[in-house]
Structure 1
Amino acid sequence: MALNKPAADVWTLLAEWGEQTPDAPALLHGELSITFGELAERSLRVAQGLADLGVGAGDRVALWLPNVPAYLLLYFACARLGAIAVAVNTRYRAVEVADIVGRSGAKVLACAPGFRHIDFLSILAEVEPQALDSLTAIVIVGDEPATPPPAIQAVRRVPFDRLLTRPRCSTNNATARAACNIFTTSGTTSLPKFVAHRQGAIASHAQQVAKAFGFAANDTLTLSILPLCGVFGFNQTLATLAAGRPCVLVESYEIEQIARLIEHHRPTTLFGSDDMFARLLDLIPDNRPFPSVRWAGYAGFNTSLESIAERAEQRGLILRGLYGMSEVQALYAIQPVDAPVERRKKGGGIPTSPLAHVRVRDPETGTLLGVGQPGMLECAGPSLMVSYWGNEDATATAMTPDGYVRTGDLAALDGHGGFTFLSRMGDVLRLSGFLVNPLEIETHIQKLAGIEGCQTIAVARPDGVRAVSFVTLAPGQAFDESAVIDHCRHGLANYKVPLRVFTIDAFPTTPSANGFKIQRTKLRERAEELLRSSC
């Protein structure tokens, strides 16, 4: 079987299943079912369509799409051409899209104007024209508005369905060393870094995850709930396909819709965040709400929801903590399914690949630490990124001389061959399942006249984790909270928009070896107090 034969590249990963089990279902989306044979065939046609638009080896194709079949068809087409798929979050707005498309130099941008009533084309019309200089075409998935915004009428627009009418692409530039993915990740500045992966790393990790997670079982079916534009959703989906098994593409993150799809499709494995599972358990009152699910992988991003694993256990749902990041790919490690819940609920686990290695280092002294000693987590293995695309300095800073990536996470070795994730060493937020550098929000807010300083923290709310910002004002300046929030809505993704913005005379600080450090815990406590009082 193809699972037992390593695939050298991403295209081979798909093509082997397309040849061996052409009639087996690969993607389920609404009433649509696409087999592995159809997935490979259509991807070849889309590849020729992209080639007609001038896309070749090394070119970038930005995928600003939800979890729909076109995303994966375009992705595998890029792999065939040796092109690089650049992931763009559907919630991104003008400021973020301009940065990603402009810096990546994308030649083609694919978007779905009708998705969830988001006017993608109007958002593009707000982008500075020079950011779109590299684009030769915009591929439209679904219906295009009758009158596109004037600002983009000069850019060629091609219906995705037209790509499917092209002949099969005879060119094959897929190789193990060819770059194929760029994911964005939070960094130490307001601009996200571009994490680049090669086809060999993507394909081998997908196969290793499929093997380690038992996806080869005949009844395996997973739900692709998490966005394909992030490594968590992408790696889960690709690992399912690497096992020759089907996955259900879920377009929206609406809990009621997810619950209906679980009941209808009866998946064997689920992946999501802690707050997603908490909300599902709240929604479904049954004693065993997910009888088909053998186990579920989750990332515990919010300490206030730490008890979710125990709650799930009482209702027949086994949750297993995971670990991953863009630099090492998601599903890099997982807690054993037979471990007690006290261990299994923690982030981290045993590396998925037998060739992966982890170690923990004292960030101040550089000393390698032993079991149970918290420090900076460093990871190595075949799933590592090749570089931060276009940023050699950042790559050199992140990688150790012997091939480990410095994760920026606090962790401790667990004595079982794995590790326990403790927290982010920096102040990165987790909002709607995505890592967000608070500096992105703070920098945007501080563009407003009269605001001198800004700090942003995350607070768990009934509808999920939300950002809350605190600002200091210049002397004599008035404060208009609604104007600040409107400013954020205009330039940032919805999930980055603060729930509230409060003024503060001075940020709470504490002395440290490197100066004064802002006490973000106190800001979070203050935010929770203010939110309670405003209810």
Structure 2
Amino acid sequence: MPGLTETLRERARSHPGRVAYIAGDTEITYGDFDRRADRVAAALAAAGVGSGDRVAILDKNSLEYAEQLFGAPRIGAVQVPVNYRLAPDEVAYIVNDAQAKVFIVGADFVPVLDAIAEKLQHTTHLFVIDGSDDRYDDYAAWIDGAPETPPSESEYVTDTEDVFAQLYSSGTTGLPKGVMLTHDNYFAALTATNDTWNVDDTSVLMVAMPMYHVAGNMLTISAIYNGVPGVIAREPDPTLIARGIERNRVTHIFLVPVLLQFMPLIPDVTACDMSSLRLMLYGASPISEDVLRGAMRMLPDTDFMQVYGLTEVTGAIVTLPAEDHDPDGPAAHRLRSAGLPNPTCTLRIVDPATQEDLPTGQVGEILCRTPQNMKGYWGMPEATAAALSGDNWFRTGDAGYLDEDGYLYIHDRVKDMIISGGENIYPAEVENVLMGHPDISDCAVIGVPDAKWGETPKAIVVLTSEDVTDKDIIGHCRDRLAHFKCPTTVERRDAIPRNPTGKILKRELRAPYWEGQDRQVH
């Protein structure tokens, strides 16, 4: 039983009485959590789960989530976290795609289970956490009734190259894909980030992002890997997070920019003592300088680091160091970058069509080679081969460039690129200019069909004033960008659709304009 589940065993042996996780008013020690993982393994085995089988879970962050994450691998099984924001049919797709034998659902999501239970093709057991519904088996009774000794470890020989967890991509450009991450992937990611993040025996990590997201998943595992407490926030609520930081003296946390945007504006948040925070990690979507400045004013004694990564590379592969976070310093321009690659990561910028390397400063597709690269996509050998080369270069699908100092600058998703009259336009560049308009609070730029140019940029904006005209908005861009990059039309909306990590749902925005077209540019 090598790998991460043995790491838990070692931590339990060396300091059984130390707190492993805190969830609300509940604490569990390393010794008790290790025994709980054994019960999970035994219960899963009794339910017919074996090596290589998938166990799906749909819930907000919880101790049950964590114990399944570490318990399933003790019999060679693999946890499949499911995004709780998905529609019922989307949940059913993931559970069926993973061929999950067991599906565990939080009480809040029983209505989802009701809607899809008859559609689950491979699932033989359904359990509800904290449920009182006689139609489904109770999770606590199932686990509590299992022995603390799992089936013989000799029956389940786990290698560190085996899959530890299977996370699903967000599916913003197509159906979600099951990303298979191995024990070795996680060890590589933890080793690469630990020194950078200065995690030590006195650290307290907060799991604030959903556990189905790679950031929440990684921090859940990082607590065990480092033998320190992990504070589990039930959901990414700003006030809940701030109170958890104050109560548990949290030292390390990862948040997405949308949370950093709102936290300084909430009195209940700013009233909390968050002085224990040593490091604020942020990423997963772009951040404006105003949002960063506001967050830094709220946490003046906290180091900030931006991270860039993907589910397919087990989280962060690029980090913008704390010393580069000085908006008024000589290197302020680096705040627009994602940072420098981790020591075990090599980056290339290539032409998306030819895969030929591009010179410094030129935008192309970002490729990375790192031991953090996934094993592949579950059941999708063709998609795996298209994304991951034989010599372990992963095509991120992101567009960006490297400067002369090796800093990575992200422009956009390659698939979001607009090709107008043969010219490549990256929407993020236009969006950055639009966000500089005093009457625009949020925006997105998409390509829409055009008889002459093939497609042209369209600005979708959220305005703070009704007085501004479309001509004003287009003129604002024309004063700052080459004209071929500027929007030709403007649409006004009350809100820009985003996924839970703040990424704009470009596919949803484009769909009405490309409906009925003979071809889709992207």
Q: TM-score range by the shorter chain?
A: 0.7 to 0.9
Higher RCO (CA-CA < 8 Å; seq separation 6+):
1
Correspondent of 2:315 among 330, 351, 363: 330
Task: Rate the CA distance shift 1:127–1:212 in 2: closer, same or farther, 3 A.
Answer: same
Kindly report which structure 2 residues correspond to 1:358-377, keeping only aligned pairs within 5 A, or say none: 358-377=347-366
2:256 maps to 1:308? no
User: Which residue number in structure 1 is paired with residue 7 of structure 2?
Assistant: 13
The structure-2 alpha-carbon separation of the partners of 1:392 and 1:159, relative to structure 1 and needing over 3 Å to count, comes to same
In 2, the alpha carbon distance for the partners of 1:374 and 1:79 equals 41
Once residues 378 and 456 of structure 2 are traced to their aligned partners in structure 1, the CA distance between those partners, rounded to angstroms, is: 32
Deviation of residue 12 (structure 1)? Answer: 1.7
Cα distance change, pair 340–209 in 1 and its aligned pair in 2 (3 A): closer
How do 1:151-190 and structure 2 match up within 5 A?
A: 157-167=137-147, 168-172=149-153, 173=156, 174-187=158-171, 190=174
Residue number in structure 1 paired with 2:184: 200
Cα 1:29–1:288 change in 2 (3 A) is: closer
Distance 2:387 2:406 in 1: 24
Alpha-carbon distance in 2 for matches of 1:389, 1:511: 42
> 2:121 matched to which residue of 1?
133
**Which of 195, 205, 220 pairs up with 1:211?**
195
Offset at residue 517 of structure 1 (A): 3.1
Take 1:294 and 1:68, find their aligned partners in 2: how far apart are those partners?
24
Residues 417 and 241 (structure 1 numbering): CA distance in 2 closer, same or farther, change over 3 Å?
Answer: farther
Counterpart in the other structure of 1:255: 238
Contact 1:321 1:348 in 2 (8 A): yes
Report how far residue 8 of structure 1 moved: 5.1
Match in the other structure for 2:409:
420
Counterpart CA distance in 1 for 2:38 and 2:292 is 43
Mapped to 2, the partners of 1:286 and 1:97 lie a distance apart of: 36
Q: Does structure 1 residue 44 correspond to structure 2 residue 25?
A: no
How far is the alpha carbon of 1:290 from its aligned partner? 3.0
**Deviation digits for residues 364-400 of structure 1, max 9, x if unmatched?**
4432134332211111111111111101111111112
> Which of residues 383, 394, 397 in structure 2 aligns to 1:405?
394
1:446-480 residue CA offsets vs partner (Å, 9 max, x unmatched): xxxxxxxxxxxxx9xxxxx999999xxxxxxxxxx
Q: Using the TM superposition, give the Cα deviation of residue 133 of structure 1 relative to its aligned residue in structure 2, in angstroms.
A: 2.5
2:107 equivalent to 1:145: no
1:92 aligns with 2:86: yes
The structural deviation recorded for 1:420 is 2.7
- How is 1:125-524 mapped onto 2 (pairs within 5 angstroms)? 125-127=114-116, 129=118, 131-146=119-134, 148=135, 157-167=137-147, 168-172=149-153, 173=156, 174-187=158-171, 190-216=174-200, 218-284=201-267, 290-299=274-283, 301-302=285-286, 305-315=288-298, 316=300, 317-341=302-326, 342=332, 345-346=335-336, 348-352=338-342, 354-427=343-416, 507=448, 509=450, 516-517=454-455, 519-521=457-459
**Aligned partners of 2:55 and 2:81: how far apart in 1?**
9
Gap change, CA 1:388 and 1:251, over 3 Å in 2: same
Q: CA deviation at 1:37?
A: 1.4
**Quick one: which amino acid aligns to residue 75 of structure 2?**
L
Aligned partners of 1:319, 1:344: CA distance in 2, in Å?
A: 13
Q: For the residues of structure 2 that align with 1:237 and 1:374, how far apart are their CA atoms? A: 35
Q: Which amino acid aligns with 1:254?
A: D
Contact (CA 8 Å) 2:185, 2:314: kept in 1 or not? Answer: no
Alpha-carbon distance change, 158 to 314 in structure 1, aligned in 2, over 3 angstroms: closer
- Aligned AA (2:229): P
How far, CA to CA, are the matches of 1:346 and 1:41 in structure 2? 46
1:36: how far off?
1.4
The amino acid that maps onto 2:319 is: I
Tell me whether 332-341 or 98-107 shows the greater mean CA deviation.
Answer: 332-341
Going from structure 1 to structure 2, the CA distance change for 1:370 and 1:238 (only over 3 Å counts) comes to farther
Q: CA RMSD in A?
A: 3.2
TM-score normalised by L of structure 2: 0.76
* Structure 2 gaps, min length 5: 327-331, 418-434, 436-440, 463-472, 474-488, 496-522
Q: Look up the match of 2:431.
A: none
Q: Is the 8 A contact 2:365 2:395 kept in 1?
A: yes
Amino acid of the structure 2 residue aligned with 1:101: V
- Would the aligned equivalents of 2:324 and 2:335 in 1 still touch at CA under 8 Å? no
Residue deviations 1:295-319 (CA, integer Å, cap 9, x gap): 211116245x342222333441432
**How many angstroms does 1:272 deviate by?**
0.5
Give the SS at the match of 1:91.
coil
Unmatched tracts of structure 1, length 5 or more: 1-6, 149-155, 429-458, 460-464, 471-505
After TM superposition, the structure 1 stretch with the greater mean CA deviation from structure 2, 325-334 or 256-265, is 256-265
In the superposition, relative to structure 1, how do residues 295 and 189 fare at CA in structure 2: closer, same or farther (>3 Å)?
closer
Contact 2:20–2:229 at 8 Å: present in 1 too? yes
Letter in 2 for 1:517: E
2:106 corresponds to 1:112: yes
Query: How does the TM-score come out when normalised to structure 1?
Result: 0.75
Cα pair distance change 1:469/1:414, threshold 3 Å: closer
The offset of 1:161, in angstroms, is 3.8
CA distance in 1, matches of 2:20, 2:336: 32
Cα deviation, 1:86-138, whole Å, max 9, x if unaligned, reads 1101222311111011111100001111xxxx3x2332222273x31311111
Q: Any conservation in 2 of the 1:320–1:344 contact (CA below 8 Å)?
A: no
SS at match of 2:83: coil
Moved more, 201-210 or 388-397: 201-210
**Residue type at the aligned position of 1:336:** P
C-alpha distance in 2, partners of 1:76/1:257? 26
Distance 1:299 1:54, change over 3 A: same
SS of equivalent to 1:248: strand
Shift of 1:401: 3.5
Q: Say how many residue pairs are matched.
A: 438
Q: 1 CA distance for matches of 2:197 and 2:491?
A: 39
Inter-partner Cα distance in structure 2 for 1:467 and 1:162: 48
Give the superposition deviation at 1:286.
Answer: 5.5
User: Quick one: distance in 2 between partners of 1:201 and 1:175?
Assistant: 12
Q: Would the aligned equivalents of 1:297 and 1:321 in 2 still touch at CA under 8 Å?
A: yes
Give me the whole-angstrom Cα distance separating, in 2, the residues matched to 1:510 and 1:310. 43
Q: Is the contact made by 2:192 and 2:344 (CA closer than 8 Å) also made in structure 1?
A: no
SS in 2 for 1:395: helix
Letter in 1 for 2:492: E
Task: State the match for 2:54 in structure 1.
Answer: 60
